[in-house]
């Protein structure tokens, strides 16, 4: 059953999207090619028409995840009043550090989800991570920019804030459902600090 070119492109996109979601929920190792294909509404056989290997799918799924993550941050940077940017940043942090519903669902931040797996990935996948991180930090710094601060300082601010958010999210997700109070503590402590310092 041959399919139109547009259909084919859409199929591949659906495979990558399904993979990104599954990998985020359960990690690369615990998700098989067949399961990804099924989630995309296909059978496992056609997989190698689109990808050379599972590794390549992992790469493309990472690329997609990092790309999607940039949206909210970009929008903050586009605001031209510093006051508005501060407010938008505060809302962004709040959203980032909100507990997910349903509890136990995967965090969406690709740094949190793929972060500790990266040192174990091959060079190409890590390259995707590196590019994603550089892009993210650029947007982050742009969102925090202010006339009275040098760009290097703003970049250091961005690095620090992102690190705190990623760490808080990692720790909080780790104890969600077994110690809700601690998870909540982590999220609010870090959120309040960051908003104090960088948002409004």
State the residues that interact with a copy of itself by CB under 8 A: 25-27, 29-30, 104, 106-107, 111-120, 123, 126-127, 129-130, 133-134, 155-156, 159-160, 162-168, 170-171, 173-179, 182, 185-186, 189-190, 192-193
Which tokens belong to 62? 């990472």
Q: Please work out the total of residues on this chain that contact DNA, with binding judged by CB under 7 A.
A: 29
Give the total residue count for the chain. 200
Q: Where are the beta strands (DSSP E) in 16-126?
A: none
Measure the CA angle with vertex 137, ends 158 and 28; round to 5°. Answer: 120
What is each CA distance from 69 to 65, 96, 138, in whole angstroms? 6, 11, 13
Binders of DNA among residues 13 to 32 (CB under 7 A) are 30-32
- From the list DNA, a copy of itself, none, pick the one residue 94 interacts with, judged by a Cβ distance below 5 to 8 Å according to partner type: none
Q: Which of the ranges 7-15, 85-93, 120-128, 142-150 carries the binding residues for DNA, by CB under 7 A?
A: 7-15
Measured CA to CA, the distance from residue 58 to residue 65 in angstroms comes to 11
List of residues contacting DNA (CB under 7 A): 1-8, 11-12, 30-35, 37, 42-50, 53-55
């Amino acid at each position: 059953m041959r399919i139109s070119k547009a259909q084919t492109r859409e199929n591949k996109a659906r495979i990558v999207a399904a993979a990104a979601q599954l990998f985020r929920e359960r990690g690369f190792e615990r998700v098989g090619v067949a399961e990804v294909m099924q989630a995309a509404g296909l059978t496992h056989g056609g997989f190698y028409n689109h990808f050379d290997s599972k590794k390549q799918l992992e790469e493309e799924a990472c690329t997609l995840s990092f790309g999607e993550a940039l949206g909210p941050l970009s929008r903050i940077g586009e605001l031209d009043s510093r006051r508005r940017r501060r407010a938008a940043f505060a809302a962004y942090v709040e959203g980032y550090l909100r507990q997910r519903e349903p509890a136990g669902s995967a965090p969406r931040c690709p740094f949190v989800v793929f972060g500790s797996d990266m040192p174990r990935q091959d060079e190409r996948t890590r390259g995707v991570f590196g590019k994603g991180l550089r892009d993210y930090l650029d947007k982050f710094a742009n969102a925090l920019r202010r006339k009275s601060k040098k760009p290097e300082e703003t970049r250091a601010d961005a690095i620090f804030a992102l690190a705190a958010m990623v760490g808080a999210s990692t720790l909080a997700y780790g104890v969600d459902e077994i110690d809700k109070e601690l998870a909540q503590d982590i999220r609010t402590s870090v959120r309040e600090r960051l908003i104090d310092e960088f948002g409004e």
